[in-house]
Chains A and B, each alone.
Chain A
């Protein structure tokens, strides 16, 4: 098994190099450091000296690939800004702050929203999907599917705006937005988690229902019924454990990505997490932060993929290491 994991990690290296090259091409070849300086300095009437100064203080004055003055590959933008990402040296943002520090400050608030939202959402979706699968073909199932399609068709923005308006402003159950550390963060977390669960319920339930129905049509379920098991026994004893395999492996992919937080929720509820960090960076056109987040997100996604493969081997005995 360790050999298998080692091999999977080795496969990830060329992908990371590819991502590094793509982001480098996007940020420095299509878009010159001069452009970045122009966007940061804002006004159209900046002098050449100001731009040069800005580039120098932010390390953008180096040549792209090869520094012919110093005969080195390390004193280049490619090395300083792109290769350094591999050792998690994210450098400083265009605004001047240390990105690595900001990330370590901000991942906990992100997790405090993302983890409860994932767990509660998963639980709610599985329960509703089980209920619909139990009453399949009946009124509850029929109207359940229709409600799922309707809820899938509503924009996430609507759930957030409506939730914030009615729960926080009209009913005043929780504060509108904000965050504190520690236990009292609960009142700030409750609404974003609720909104996230409600927004995901349509798509999630519909998908899980399809998974359950697929399992129900299999032969072993017929065998279980012909043994004389009752319908709840069949569903909870046989269908649920088997249907959980695709559900859980589907969840494993996104677990590492929870660190990145949710762009929309964090921004609307003013949670100081990585999601709002990213969205602020995008809106301020801070290229350094966006580049760092792209790389971080990719690493987390690849970790998720590796974990998925491992979890498949663990939960599904038919899959072997190879």
Chain B
């Protein structure tokens, strides 16, 4: 077992998420609202798609060491694809490399030949898809059988989505055994495999960043709103100053600086994976440190309203001190805002990762991420015939994750925000 820092934080977050879900489900009125707002077919589908992404991400976060390489469970699942590499580009479902290379026959003649792909076993695609349909349906059926023990209200949308996801994943897996479904990239890595590996990076950026944000935003927001006076002034000054710096520039400045610091202490990391993992973590911390101001401002404004409420006054009369009041009365009443913000921020962060990688201040180039895939693939758009498959792989998976996260965030907001209902009613 190898435990990377982001793994630990991701698992910690999953535990927190489980506690939050348990807390919500325990309260009947919240459970009812959540069920109501998640009942439309699109939202059911998006929850299931998002769960699939999380499962893939978690599988990719259980790392172990093998022959001096750090592998994850996902690598085992995708085994032949993850271990073998071609030498360079190949098109989707191709049997030969995309580029021809010269071979000298004798001193005069040169022939152009294409090399056979190592990792392709060309069985008919339709036959493989048929096999995927059958095996996927069986898997979907089994999953639903298990799910029915725990959930009583599985509707048509849930059933259809489960079958679709199961069949898609199984079919892709079977196809990946025989082909490069989305071809290979410049260094010969299977594009679909790289896209799947990038899911974890997206998840880490989207969630660990929030974990960094929360302590600052909650502590400073509630303190400023509740204590008023000079505490409020100082905290307001700090977040006004930080938020005055344009986001990308502050992130770029911080990443450049810390990069210089890391590169001076290179020998600190024994494994390549640890180094690139640290870079991802630092990116999350920087994103968090530059973005807590938004939530902090909202929480401060809300605390200002809450502190005038009667229940706060009563508890003050009963002798509770400031921290007790904030912990017992203010924070629980801010919980819905915090949860909604987490959900809404997630998709923005996943999208931001791609942009930051393009700017050159994203995750380490050796980490699989959609941003890195796009960044290296866009150079190839100029050539004829065009190499489009890396872009398709990265963009389509990123789109699916962000779309389902957006829809899910809307569902969460409708369920938890008391004001959201009035909008819908009109």
Residues of A within 8 A of B (CB): 14-15, 18-19, 22-23, 26-27, 30-31, 35-36, 38-39, 136-137, 146, 149-150, 152-158, 161, 164-165, 169, 210, 213-214, 216-217, 257, 260, 263-264, 278-279, 282-283, 285, 287, 290-291, 293-294, 297-298, 301-302, 305
Contacts and interface: CB of A to CB of B under 8 A. Distances in A.
Contact of B403 (A26, A153, A282): A153
B355 A287 contact: no
A39 B260 contact: yes
Contact of A213 (B254, B359, B406, B423): B423
Contacts of A302: 244
A268 B361 CA distance: 17
Nearest to B351: A155
A282 B354 CA distance: 16
Contacts of A257: 246
Given A19-B241, A156-B351, A26 B253 contact: yes
A47 B119 CA distance: 48
Q: In terms of DSSP, what is the predominant structure of the interface of chain A?
A: helix
Contact of A155 (B42, B263, B381, B398): B398
Contacts of A18: 237-238, 241
A263 B248 CA distance: 9
A282 B359 CA distance: 7
B328 interface: no
A161 B360 CA distance: 17
Given A153-B406, A161-B391, A214-B423, A15 B260 contact: no
A154 B351 CA distance: 8
Contact of A19 (B244, B386, B422): B244
Nearest to B42: A146
Interface string B255-282: 0111111011000000000000000000
A260 B261 contact: no
Given A161-B381, A217-B422, A30 B246 contact: no
B334 interface: no
5 interchain residue pairs of minimum CB distance: A18-B241, A153-B403, A297-B246, A35-B260, A153-B402
B256 A149 contact: no
B358 interface: yes
A15 B237 contact: yes
Contacts of B361: 282
Contacts of B248: 263
Nearest to B258: A30
Contacts of B257: 26-27, 30-31
Given A39-B260, A297-B249, A156 B355 contact: yes
Contacts of B42: 146
B347 A26 contact: no
A10 B374 CA distance: 45
A115 B76 CA distance: 52
Given A149-B406, A213-B426, A22 B245 contact: yes
A217 B249 contact: no
Contacts of B238: 18
A285 B264 contact: no
B65 interface: no
A278 B361 CA distance: 12
Contact of B426 (A155, A217, A291): A217
Given A149-B406, A294-B249, A301-B246, A15 B374 contact: no
A35 to B, nearest CB: 4
24 contacts: A18-B237, A22-B241, A23-B245, A26-B253, A27-B257, A30-B257, A36-B260, A149-B403, A149-B406, A149-B410, A153-B403, A154-B395, A161-B378, A214-B423, A263-B359, A279-B359, A282-B252, A282-B360, A283-B359, A285-B256, A293-B249, A297-B249, A301-B244, A305-B244
Nearest to B247: A297
A15 B240 contact: yes
B327 interface: no
A83 to B, nearest CB: 17
Nearest to A287: B256
The CB with the most chain A CB atoms within 10 A, among B245, B351, B410, is that of B245
B5 interface: no
A153 B350 CA distance: 10
